[in-house]
Amino acid sequence: MKTEKFSKNLSMMMDFYSAAAAAHAFDGGKPDEHIVWFDLSFRKNPKLGGYCITAGLRQAVEILEDLSFGEEDLCYLREQGCPEAFTEYLKTMRFCCDIRAVPEGTPVFPNEPVVRIKGPAVQALLIETVLMQTVNFQSLIATKANRIVRAAQGRRVVEFGARRAQGSTAAVFGARAAYIGGCAGTTCAEAAMALEIPRFGSMTHNFIQMFDSEYEAFRAYAKAFPDQCVLLIDAFGTLSSGLPNAIRVFNEVLAPMGKRPVGVRIDSGDLAYLSKRVRRTLNEAGYPDCDVIASNALDEHIISEMIRNGARVDTFMVGEKLITGGDVSYFPGVYKLVAREKDGRAEPVLQLSENVEKIVTPAPKLLWRLYDMETGKATADLLTTEDEDVSALREYRLFDPDYTWKQKTVTNFVARQLLEPIFEDGKRVYRFPTLADTRYYCAQQTDALWEEVLRFEYPHNYYVDLSRKLWDIKNDLIRKLRNGESAE
């Protein structure tokens, strides 16, 4: 079994203001006693529908386990103005934060803490960028993949974007996130080898052009890969040339070897129309088990339209509009201070922004998901303070945190705590499931959402409620800050 680890020391992967803030927060005598709480969350769904899929946690954890600064790093920080006492601390620093996080593959919603950090301010500030970078990127790709897979309605989707990815790391970890989101495999050899993602292959137009004829190219490819023969049939005319030559090679090369073709791929033209013609011809030729594979700048909207038009496609290969997020170029994650330790207790803090959506719920929190016991569907999510436990309750009164008169009493439910312990005092206590198990878990958790939340256009607004105690803490802080009072 190969390890999934695929990262180098990235301790310096930070915006410099993180180092500057950490240096300022540094107390040369007691650097680990200024304890703070941060939440990594996102403010709104990034034009990807009614929910997002969280991913990237494993890579973030690997980076934090390797958090250390070499002499070259420390010299650079000193040259940029960081005090020598601070860099001396970094030289022997032991990571000692407590971290809770929502498991990878879980559907999450705006304003929920996806990762919660408690620890010395100097450490919590240093890890902001790398946490956001890993979780934001992979969550974006996992969410996009999940939408594309649902659009395919049970047909196979393969991640096909390495050539269009924004760098080699994005190609590998994008393939990983796409697999978590539901893709059946990847064409990226490095991702398949390093992360044990199923590999899917096909031929290229370049390969065909290196031969004197399409038939010769198909024949050579079939002889070389008799067990994985996928022929690209649109180079000179899908119906007039590619398909007849493919069937001829199936008959003349594969059949005598006792082999069956895996598929034929169409990469241009009216894919819905061509797929129907190709499917019928393959069936008539005795190859009903030969997949029809479609590619060419696909996304969930194109795939949905193809299926509505009766396309006979078995596998969709999706490239640039998956690995780059398509029409969504970034995931809007934020990393915000929510509490600081004072006199041995957590004191909630809040940023009172001019933009209401930027006001993050303060205080260390727990995140609960309430499931209806009759349907198994998720009813709502609930944010509570750390000392509230709703797991044993038989009845709970939910209310909208913005429109408080909108209330609902839920019964016959089971509450699951979503924030799992990952690090305790800097030591990892969480055992990651296999990538295949994470993919299966993602499918299960997505199925637990109502169809109204899953739809692509105008999805139902899933409820993320606050407990009365947490709501009071937040609004009391808002009132005091607006009135210029002390938050104590």
Q: What would the 3-class secondary structure string for 185-249 be?
A: EECCHHHHHHHCCCECCCCCHHHHHCCCCHHHHHHHHHHHCCCCCEEECCCCCHHHHHHHHHHHH
Look at residue 1 and tell me if it is in a domain: no
Please state, in angstroms and rounded to a whole number, the distance separating the CA atoms of residues 247 and 176: 35
Residue 10 belongs to a domain = no
Residue type, 227: D
Specify whether 296 is located in the same domain as 169.
yes
CATH number of the domain bearing residue 82: 3.20.140.10
Q: What is the DSSP string of 432-462?
A: PPPHHHHHHHHHHHHHTS-HHHH-SSS----
What's the domain range around 53?
A: 16-141+329-482
Same domain, 56 and 172: no
Question: What CATH number does the domain containing 173 carry?
Answer: 3.20.20.70
Q: Which residues contact 303 (CB under 8 A, 6 or more apart)?
A: 148, 151, 152, 316, 318
Categorize the per-residue pLDDT at 1 as very low, low, confident or very high, splitting at 50, 70 and 90: very low
Residue type, 318: V
- Number of structural domains the chain divides into: 2
Same-domain check for residues 351 and 316: no
Pairing of strands 365-372, 98-101: unpaired
Q: Are 396 and 410 in contact (CB under 8 A)?
A: yes
Share of the chain above pLDDT 70, in %: 96
Output b/e per residue, 260-281; b: 16+ Cβ within 10 A.
Answer: ebbbbbbbeeebbebbbbbbeb
- Average the pLDDT over 37-42 and give the result: 96
- Are residues 401 and 466 in contact, defined by beta-carbon separation less than 8 angstroms? yes
Q: What is the pLDDT of residues 359-382, one digit of tens each?
A: 889 999 999 999 999 999 999 999
Looking at per-residue confidence, does 403 or 453 come out higher? 453
Tell me, yes or no, whether 307 and 168 share the same domain. yes
Q: Which of 201, 197, 165, 170 is nearest to 184 (CA)?
A: 197
Band of the pLDDT at 487, cuts 50, 70, 90?
Answer: low
Q: Are residues 336 and 317 in the same domain?
A: no
Neighbours of 21 (CB within 10 A): 17
Where are the strands (E) in 282-332, listed by range? 291-294, 315-318
Rg of the chain taking only CA atoms, in angstroms: 26
The reply to whether 225 and 163 lie within a common domain is yes
| 213 assigned to some structural domain | yes
Phi-psi region of 23 (alpha: psi -120 to 50; beta: other; left: phi over 0): alpha
Q: Are residues 74 and 182 in the same domain?
A: no
Predicted confidence (pLDDT) per residue in 271-297, tens digit = 999 999 999 999 999 999 999 999 999
Q: Are residues 29 and 60 in the same domain?
A: yes
Q: CA–CA separation, 364 vs 470, rounded Å?
A: 10
Q: Are residues 361 and 260 part of one domain?
A: no
Question: Does 2 reside within a domain?
Answer: no
Q: What is the pLDDT of residue 24?
A: 87
- What integer is the mean pLDDT of 26-51? 83
Out of 323, 354, 378, pick the residue that ends a domain: 323
Domain identity same for 125 and 225: no
In this structure, what token pair is assigned to residue 115?
Answer: 């990762």
Of the candidates 358, 407, 368, the residue with the CA atom closest to the CA atom of residue 390:
368
Tokens describing residue 369: 């998901």
> Does residue 6 lie within any of the structural domains?
no
For residue 4, name the pLDDT band (cuts at 50, 70, 90): low
389 lies in the same domain as 379? yes
